[in-house]
Structure 1
Amino acid sequence: MASDTSDRTSRLDGASAPGSGIGLAMLLSLALLSAIAPLATDMYLPGLPRVADDLQASPSSVQLTLTAFMLGLAAGQLLVGPLSDGLGRRRPLIVGTVLLAVAGLGCALAPSIIVLIACRFLQGVTGGIGVVVARAVIADRTSGDRSAKLFSVMMIITSAAPVVAPLLGGALVGPIGWRGVFFVLAGLAAVMLMAVVAFVPETLPAPMPHPIEPRAIGCGIGAVLGNRRYLGYTLTFGIGFGAMFAYISASPFVIQEVMGFSPGMYSVLFAVNAVGIGIAGWTNNRLLRRFRPHALLAAGVAVLSAVGVAMLVVALAVPGVHWLLLVLMFCLTSSFGFTAGNATALALGEVRERAGTGSAVLGSLQFTVGAIVSPLVGIGGEASATPMAIVVFGCTVLAAGSFATTIR
């Protein structure tokens, strides 16, 4: 038994050494896999009115295409993460990207809203495969500071996707229509497939199979959730994302309805804040040369908490000082650039033997929290920034409490 443990530890150390290799081509391939979800979420949004007209569907039915995608994204991660711990990383990625392309074609050719909703759900499930396995591959090959640096680099790359997607979609809907947007997404899936085949080898340490029966999958999820430090880092990431998603959900109304900015100016401000995430991720990557991921995460959580308190004070005490709230929005999104990469690296570092399962739980929590906070910011109506500030404050307090549980 001791020999087996030693052998397993040796395999893990070898797989996680920086020298074992995540080159630039492989990293870009993994980033593309992670970016497909926000691209598929946002690119077709400018064409929603046309979808309703072409398929003779109600606006609420068309909105279900987005809901179905998000549900599929969460379900796909929970399903494929544990499977990748038993089957390996490469096979699920190849099968998933093939099905992602098929789902994109199905959306493009959908004859009715029911078919479109079903294909969007499949697109979410298969898009979730790339997100969860990309994180697991990095956890397989790296650890510690190296892992945090790569997650920060991926954060820089993928943070551009939510900004580019609606702009690209708006440019494409006119000349090629909403169906053409889905053909483009299917083409991107084909590019992803070629990248996976060419640049992403099998990275799961072998032989380390985990049973893939439903009961064993449940046990695997229970095992990672039973790791106190993993759970603390995961909650820090997921609830911290909730604070940012509260901003994302409320900002169109706050910036345009409350502050009076035009839709064009809103797009500019949204892009600036998204760029802030990338700058923070790049800065975090540089700071990892001198500081450990846990210390940088502590600093990021401290900034996040301070922003949450300040945003609530500004919204309640000086609601007319719009420039100050805009600055706090930028600080909020930028702080996520410090928390996301470090929290992800530290969480998956706690469950290295079940990195796929750990990545799946982390990703599912992220989108579940996002789904919860999105309607909360609208409870108080569209004429005030206070609901957004309250939700952001609550999320930052909970994120700080979650981080506190990771301290030895």
Structure 2
Amino acid sequence: MSRTDATTATPAYRPDAKHVLLLGTMCALPAISTDIYLPSLPDVARDLGTSAAGAQLTMTGMLIGGAVGQLVIGPLSDRLGRRLPVLVGVALHVVVSLLCAIQTAIVPLIALRVAQGFFNASATVVAMALIRDRFVGSDASRLLSRLMLVIGVAPLFAPSLGGVIAGQWGWRAVFVALALFGVALWVVVLLKMPETHPVERRRTGGVRTALSGYARLLRDRHFVALAMLPGLAMAVLMTYVVASPFVLQEGYGLTSQQFALLFAVNGIGLVLGAQVNAYLVRRVAPIRILRVAIVLSVLLTGALLVVALTGAGGLWGIVVVLWLVLALVNLAPPNASAIALGRHGAIAGTAAAFIGGLQAGTGGLVANLSGVFGGDAVAMAAVMLGASLMALVVLAVATPAFRRGGAWQLQ
């Protein structure tokens, strides 16, 4: 990491609650587009004459589209500034959402969800790059954690809201609601989002310049290792999101209303975990939090697998351990992302895209493994444990985080 990269942020800038709300809503756009649609999956499968697996591809496709979108849009934001890519991306989200609402076959819907993920990525990657334009280290990690107060609203309320909308007007109305949300976000971005990447700092060139940026990142093995950690945390979270409707409703007999309530309670765990991290980074270096969080994730997902295998505690056993696992999920990503972004401030958009692309892609690809392995509680817990173990191996082997005197290299 060059000294220039480490000092290009502007610590004097302090976002107020309005800016935190804006950045959090931008980051939450993909989550809202995913979670509000969850209760509609059975209706989509039935209405479009497809299987549950086919309907689930509309979820996975959006994640894959988001991964590719971030890789493309990140370099564009380094070249064109932060505002233009997100304004275009959110506008196209609105168009695609309306097209989703009129589809009569599953394949076009899957394709449109891929496109929706691609365009939604503009909001996420620009928000991340904007943070890196202003902050590094503990400041960046703390702000990312504060954003979870906003991002966490998606799992708290989106499934219930989506269920109400679909129950009253059908699943197509969910996409109309997403379009309206996109319109509101577009207007707020236009009026309130500052341009934090001035012309004199923008990169020139086309595809070759973008590829050179990614080549620079790939040569930094510590950056690559750190960039993998948010994706493995996303794999834990998305495995829960994709598998939990089947595990909790079919395996444990919860009604849709009970499932929505439990989903909201687990969402509280996600938010609380992020706020604990925001408190800790004022006092503890991000790398130290990262080490402890990943070790605890391995221990808790291991406990979840034991509970699933033995049936210990029944539903309550699964629920309690699962809540603790999810409360830890948001400790690793902000710290890993903040450290990684701090290494490449000059190409913050490209670096944010790299991290976000890995995060969405890893989460989307790994989450479906629970269905391959049976779709029950054991399969869900096993995949979550596997992702946590992989994160521990990456941190221990590919970085100096656990070596004596080595952690300073990641600051």
Deviations 1:100-149 (A, max 9, x none): 22222322344665554443333221101101111111111111221111
Alpha-carbon distance in structure 2 between the residues aligned to 1:161 and 1:146:
24
Amino acid at match of 2:208: R
Amino acid at match of 1:391: V
**The one of 340, 362, 365 aligned to 1:372:** 365
TM-score by length of 2: 0.88
Superposition pairs of residues 73-152 of structure 1, within 5 angstroms? 73-110=66-103, 115-152=108-145
Change (3 A) 1:61 1:145: closer
Residue 188 (structure 1) aligned with residue 143 (structure 2): no
Alpha-carbon distance in structure 1 between the residues aligned to 2:348 and 2:389:
28
Deviations 1:176-232 (A, max 9, x none): 333332222111111111111222111125422324422332221121122222222
Alpha carbons 1:238, 1:365 under 8 Å: kept: yes
Alpha-carbon distance in structure 1 between the residues aligned to 2:270 and 2:293:
12
Deviations 1:322-355 (A, max 9, x none): 3333222111101112112212211211221111
Where structure 2 has 5 or more consecutive residues not aligned to the other structure, the ranges are: 407-411
The alpha carbon displacement at 1:38 in A equals 1.6
Alpha-carbon distance in structure 2 between the residues aligned to 1:263 and 1:233:
38
Alpha-carbon distance in structure 2 between the residues aligned to 1:265 and 1:50:
18
Where structure 1 has 5 or more consecutive residues not aligned to the other structure, the ranges are: none
**The one of 382, 397, 400 aligned to 2:392:** 400
Residue 169 (structure 1) aligned with residue 162 (structure 2): yes
The SS at the match of 1:174 is: helix
Alpha carbons 1:31, 1:158 under 8 Å: kept: yes
Change (3 A) 1:105 1:247: closer
Residue 32 (structure 1) aligned with residue 40 (structure 2): no
- Counterpart for residue 194 of structure 2: 201
The alpha carbon displacement at 1:173 in A equals 1.8
Deviations 1:24-76 (A, max 9, x none): 2222111111111121123234345555676x553466554434423321221
**The one of 11, 25, 37 aligned to 1:18:** 11
Alpha-carbon distance in structure 1 between the residues aligned to 2:381 and 2:46:
36
- Counterpart for residue 390 of structure 1: 382
Alpha-carbon distance in structure 2 between the residues aligned to 1:369 and 1:25:
31
- Counterpart for residue 58 of structure 1: 50
Residue 353 (structure 1) aligned with residue 346 (structure 2): yes
Q: Larger deviation: 208-217 or 154-163?
A: 208-217
- Counterpart for residue 307 of structure 1: 300
Amino acid at match of 1:216: T
The alpha carbon displacement at 1:270 in A equals 2.2
Change (3 A) 1:65 1:240: closer
Alpha-carbon distance in structure 1 between the residues aligned to 2:94 and 2:379:
39
Amino acid at match of 1:58: T
Alpha-carbon distance in structure 1 between the residues aligned to 2:24 and 2:274:
14
Change (3 A) 1:256 1:97: closer
What is the number of equivalent residue pairs in this alignment?
Answer: 397
TM-score by length of 1: 0.88
Residue 225 (structure 1) aligned with residue 234 (structure 2): no
Residue 281 (structure 1) aligned with residue 282 (structure 2): no
The SS at the match of 1:290 is: coil
Alpha-carbon distance in structure 1 between the residues aligned to 2:101 and 2:378:
40
Identity %: 35
Alpha-carbon distance in structure 2 between the residues aligned to 1:389 and 1:113:
29
Alpha carbons 2:153, 2:267 under 8 Å: kept: yes
